[in-house]
């Protein structure tokens, strides 16, 4: 048992180390230019790639003919299908000290005890700058023979391209004086071209007429869309440069312009460039040529090669390479009796490969086999014009064989018109269900209940009924509510008026009238408070009403006593004394005060 486990352990270990051994390190070496002048410099780039994110730095051989400065590193990590790929790029600046042809070999990296070597490259150093053609040196000098501080050059890599062939336009901005901020560029007009910006290169220095210029390059890919004479217009750079003429200096000798970053605003124009665009040759042009120009490859891959009848196979046709990817036409698919063919999708991705535009175009076509057996999707043709070799080329994909099985399941009834080749379906039905014999409920076409007048009427009716009821109820409540409220509010005011009149009669000789007034005031007050008619209101009825409204018992008793006293006094005024009159007035007042505090509902 233990031995077995041990063996498994060893096998596992081995397999792990085998997997490890597979992850290799790629190393590529590149120079930005292969020929430089003695007073120029080249940039050497070493790119390491692998699955490990911690790759060691490359080892450079001794380069006695150059001064080597490291320009730092940049890394890039990508994850594709769970696989981590990391690439690290190291940049070195090489300054030559001697002219000649120098091979740069033996750049290597040691990873996991293995040495990986890069391809050798060669750098030619000339006595005088390569790019310093007499023409360029001329443009560095103005008409007066004075050296220019700055100038802008437009250069194309070919003057005589084919229509649709890429022309690389390079804008070079030379500047020998200090400038402030980011120079602003107005792109050149490129009518008659399809234009794509390739990007800016890192600035470098170049000596012209013994003056050190900083050079900033910007590259464009131009695709002529018509033949004949075409012109790339002027590019304009606006920037602010250190003024040479008017330089302010303060008394302490500090350069104020430099210090504050001010300068003179200048506009720099490039030279227009003319091109003569050739038409494509007629000789050797395939009959089905669609106008694709560049250099491409084509691959067709099916997503599966073994399917059941009527199951789709998606074939991905991938065309990639350099050239105007937008001009790539769909490959011609012949009519095939064995398949039904549908176009599923297409998409394109442009990419910049070095200085060339390129990209990938992907077409997806769905092939649905009609019958079982070994069916073949024949090779698909694709042609294009290759401007580099000035020839038309035709590529063909490999034929794809698809193994088509008869599906398992129920065969469709022969009555179904779609089952020509024995379509099989998974359901337990072999045909549609039979027609209905009853026509069912017939309605006018497109009629919806929610839009019929009846529906709206029925629903609206009840809203109207409710609204009517509500209005009626509110009106009734308002009317009854308002009178009662008004009367009860007026009650104490009226009563006080009456009491005041009674007070003026507080004399024995007018006792009859006094008591009548008191009685009236009290009854009217109660009637108003209760919102009832004061007519025919007797003391007995008052008791009843007050008890009904749940008034305080002592209040009821006092009220009734006073009313009785009033009645008695009105009919026998002679027996009334002045003290009785005063007390009655006081009592009436107190009853009203008490009643004021009672809420009669």
Partner 1 sequence: MSKPFLITLSFLLILSCSSGVPVADIDSNFQQANQLFQDKEYAQAISSYQNILDKGTESAPLYFNLGNAYFKDGDLGRAILYYLKAQRLDPSDNDITANLEFARQFTSIQMEGVKLNPISTFFESLVGPYRLNTLAWLSSFFFILFFILLSLRYGFGFKNGPLRVGTTVVLILLLVSSWMTSFKYRHDYLTQRAVIVAEECPVYSGPYEQSDIELEAAPGLVVEILAESGEYYNVLFENKRRGWIKKDLIAAI
Where does this chain bind partner 1 (CB under 8 A)? 310, 312, 340, 342-346, 366, 368, 415-418, 423, 425, 427, 429, 431-446, 448-450, 452-455, 457-459, 462-463, 465-466, 469-470, 472-473
What the block records as the tokens of 90 is 């190291």
Q: Which two tokens stand for residue 397?
A: 């994909």
In terms of CB distance, is 444 or 536 closer to partner 1? 444
Residue among 453 and 597 whose Cβ is closer to partner 1: 453
Instruction: Please give the C-alpha separations between residue 582 and each of 499, 511, 588, 589, in angstroms, as whole numbers.
Output: 12, 11, 10, 11
Specify the 3-state DSSP secondary structure of 418.
coil
Q: Report the DSSP beta bridge partners of residue 93.
A: 43, 69
Assess contact for 163 and 190: CB atoms under 8 A: no
Q: How far is CA 285 from CA 162, 164, 288, in A?
A: 14, 15, 8
Nearest CB to partner 1, comparing residues 52 and 364: 364
The CA distance from 315 to 184, in Å, is: 48
Helix (H, G, I), strand (E, B) or coil at 332: strand
Task: Report the Cα–Cα distance between both ends of the chain, in Å, rounded.
Answer: 101
Comparison of 463 and 574: residue with beta carbon closer to partner 1: 463
Residue 284's nearest CA partner among 355, 140, 193, 383 is: 383
Secondary structure element (H or E) that encloses residue 451, with its range: none
| Nearer to partner 1 among residue 82 and residue 417 (C-beta) | 417
Burial class (CB in 10 A: 0-12, 13-18, 19+), 514: buried
Minimum distance of partner 1 from residue 405's CB (angstroms):
18
Which residue, 99 or 225, has its beta carbon nearer to partner 1?
225
- Residue 562 C-beta: closest distance to partner 1, Å: 38
Nearer to partner 1, 18 or 442 (CB): 442
Give the DSSP per-residue string, 369-416.
E-SSEEEEEPPPEEEEEETTTTEEEEEEPPPEEEEEEPPPSEEPPTTS
3-state secondary structure 555-578: HHHHHHHHHHHHHHHHHCHHHCCH
- The radius of gyration computed from the CA coordinates of the chain, to the nearest angstrom, equals 54
Q: Which is nearer to partner 1, 146 or 436 (CB)?
A: 436
Which CB, 57 or 467, lies closer to partner 1? 467
Shortest Cβ distance from residue 334 to partner 1 (Å)? Answer: 16
26: which strand partners? Answer: 49
Shortest separation between residue 409's beta carbon and partner 1, angstroms: 11
Tokens encoding 552: 């305080």
Q: Which of 565, 567, 585 is nearest to 505 (CA)?
A: 585
Output 145 or 453, the one with its CB closest to partner 1.
453
In the bound state with partner 1, the residue whose beta carbon lies nearer, of 574 and 601, is 601
* Pick 446 or 597: Cβ nearer partner 1: 446
Taking the complex as a whole, the smallest distance from the CB of residue 463 to partner 1 amounts, in Å, to: 6
SS (H, E, C) 286-300: CCCCCCCEEEEEEEE
**Least CB distance to partner 1 at residue 363 (A):** 11
Asked whether 198 and 357 are in contact (CB, 8 A), the reply is yes
Distances (CA, A) of 422 to 304, 311, 418, 430, 479: 22, 13, 9, 11, 86
Q: Which is nearer to partner 1, 337 or 443 (CB)?
A: 443
- H helices within 261-384, ranges in order? none
Could you tell me the smallest distance in angstroms from the CB atom of residue 216 to partner 1? 38
The nearest distance, CB 453 to partner 1, in angstroms, is 5
DSSP 465-481: HHHHHHHHHHHHHHHHH
Q: CB of 446: closest distance to partner 1 in angstroms?
A: 8
CB of 140 to partner 1, least distance (A): 49
- Please state the closest distance from residue 494 (CB atom) to partner 1, in A: 32
CB of 456 to partner 1, least distance (A): 9
Taking the complex as a whole, how short is the minimal distance between the CB of residue 430 and partner 1, in angstroms?
Answer: 9
Contact 351, 360 (CB under 8 A): yes
Q: Distance between CA atoms of 521 and 203, rounded to whole angstroms?
A: 111
């Amino acid at each position: 048992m233990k031995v077995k486990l041990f063996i498994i352990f060893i096998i596992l270990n081995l397999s792990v180390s085998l997997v490890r051994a597979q992850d290799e390190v790629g190393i590529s070496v590149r120079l930005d230019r292969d020929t430089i002048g003695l007073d120029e410099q080249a940039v050497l780039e070493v790119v390491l790639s692998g699955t490990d994110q911690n790759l060691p730095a490359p080892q450079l051989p001794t380069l006695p003919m150059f001064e080597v400065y490291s320009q730092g590193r940049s890394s890039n990590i990508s994850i594709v299908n769970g696989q981590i790929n990391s690439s690290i790029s190291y940049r070195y600046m090489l300054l030559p000290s001697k002219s000649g042809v120098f091979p740069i070999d033996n750049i290597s990296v040691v990873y996991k005890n293995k040495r990986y070597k890069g391809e050798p490259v060669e750098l030619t150093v000339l006595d005088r700058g390569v790019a310093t053609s007499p023409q360029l040196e001329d443009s560095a000098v103005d008409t007066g023979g004075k050296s220019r501080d700055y100038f802008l050059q437009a250069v194309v890599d070919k003057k005589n391209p084919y229509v649709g062939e890429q022309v690389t336009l390079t804008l070079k901005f030379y500047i020998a004086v200090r400038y402030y901020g980011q120079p602003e560029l107005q792109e050149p007009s490129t009518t008659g071209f399809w234009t794509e910006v390739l990007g800016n290169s890192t600035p470098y220095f170049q000596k012209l007429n013994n003056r050190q210029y900083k050079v900033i390059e910007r590259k464009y890919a131009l695709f002529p869309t018509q033949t004949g004479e075409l012109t790339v217009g002027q590019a304009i750079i606006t920037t602010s440069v250190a003024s040479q003429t008017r330089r302010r200096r303060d008394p302490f000798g500090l350069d104020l312009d430099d210090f504050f970053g001010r300068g003179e605003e200048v506009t720099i124009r490039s030279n227009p460039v003319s091109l003569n665009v050739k038409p494509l040759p007629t000789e050797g042009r395939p009959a089905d040529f669609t106008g694709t120009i560049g250099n491409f490859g084509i691959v067709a891959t099916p997503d599966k090669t073994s399917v059941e009848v009527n199951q789709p196979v998606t074939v991905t046709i991938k065309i990639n390479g350099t050239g105007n990817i937008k001009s790539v036409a769909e490959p011609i698919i012949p009519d095939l009796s064995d398949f039904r063919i549908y176009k599923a999708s297409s998409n394109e991705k442009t990419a910049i490969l070095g200085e060339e535009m390129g990209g990938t175009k992907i077409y997806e076509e769905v092939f649905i086999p009609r019958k079982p057996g070994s069916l073949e999707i024949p090779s698909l043709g694709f042609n294009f014009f290759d401007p580099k070799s000035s020839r038309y080329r035709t590529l063909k994909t490999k034929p794809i064989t698809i193994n088509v099985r008869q599906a398992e399941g129920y065969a469709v009834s022969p009555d179904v018109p779609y089952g020509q080749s024995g379509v099989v379906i998974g359901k337990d039905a072999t045909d549609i269900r039979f027609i209905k014999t009853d026509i069912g409920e017939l309605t006018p076409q497109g009629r919806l209940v929610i839009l019929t007048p009846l529906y709206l009427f029925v629903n609206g009716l009840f809203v109207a009924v409710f609204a009517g009821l509500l209005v009626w109820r509110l009106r009734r409540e308002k009317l009854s509510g308002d009178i009662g409220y008004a009367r009860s509010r007026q009650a104490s005011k009226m009563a006080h008026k009456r009491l005041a009149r009674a007070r003026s009669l507080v004399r024995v000789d007018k006792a009859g009238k006094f008591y009548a007034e008191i009685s009236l005031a009290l009854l009217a007050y109660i009637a108003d408070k209760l919102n009832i008619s004061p007519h025919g209101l007797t003391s007995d009825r008052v008791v009843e009403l007050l008890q009904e409204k749940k008034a305080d018992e002592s209040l009821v008793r006092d009220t009734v006593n006073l009313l009785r006293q009033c009645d008695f006094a009105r009919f026998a005024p002679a027996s009334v004394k002045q003290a009785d009159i005063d007390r009655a007035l006081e009592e009436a007042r107190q009853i009203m005060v008490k009643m004021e505090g009672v809420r009669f509902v």
